[in-house]
Copies of this chain bind each other. A is one copy, B any other.
Amino acid sequence: MSPIRQMLSESGLTEQQWRVLRVLNEHGALEPSQLSKHAALLLPSQTRIVQSMAQKGFVVRREHPNDRRRTVIEITDMGQAIINDNAAKAAEIAAQIRDKLGPRRFETLLDILDDLRDLE
């Protein structure tokens, strides 16, 4: 992740904040519990992360229409801009890693990690 972190530091984002933006960009607005699954964050961490991202204007929180315990988290135009600025470079970095490891080994790694997650 080191090259990714280096890229993000220029936008003032952490690796986790970047993951939140990417998930919201891909899935649209999400409730906290859904977001936490896709972004691989525990809810307490995510709460803090989303709070600071909301303060900086990268996301907004709306009321959930049916359930007042929940909220809905949505990416802003400013968050979108960050995605647009970094998506290409991030994809390139990921491709480099995949190629260095070998595409076959890379797929195998993802498979095994999936299995590991399901073990618990």
Chain A residues at the B interface, C-beta cutoff of 8 Å: 2, 97, 100-101, 105, 108-109, 112, 115-116, 119-120
Contact = CB atoms under 8 A, between A and B. Distances in A.
A105 B115 contact: yes
8 interchain residue pairs of minimum CB distance: A109-B112, A100-B119, A105-B112, A2-B120, A101-B115, A108-B108, A101-B116, A97-B119
Main secondary structure of the interface of A (DSSP, over half): helix
A113 to B, nearest CB: 8
A120 B108 CA distance: 20
Contacts of A120: 2
A120 to B, nearest CB: 6
Identify which of A2, A105, A112 gathers the most chain B CB atoms within 10 Å of its CB.
A112
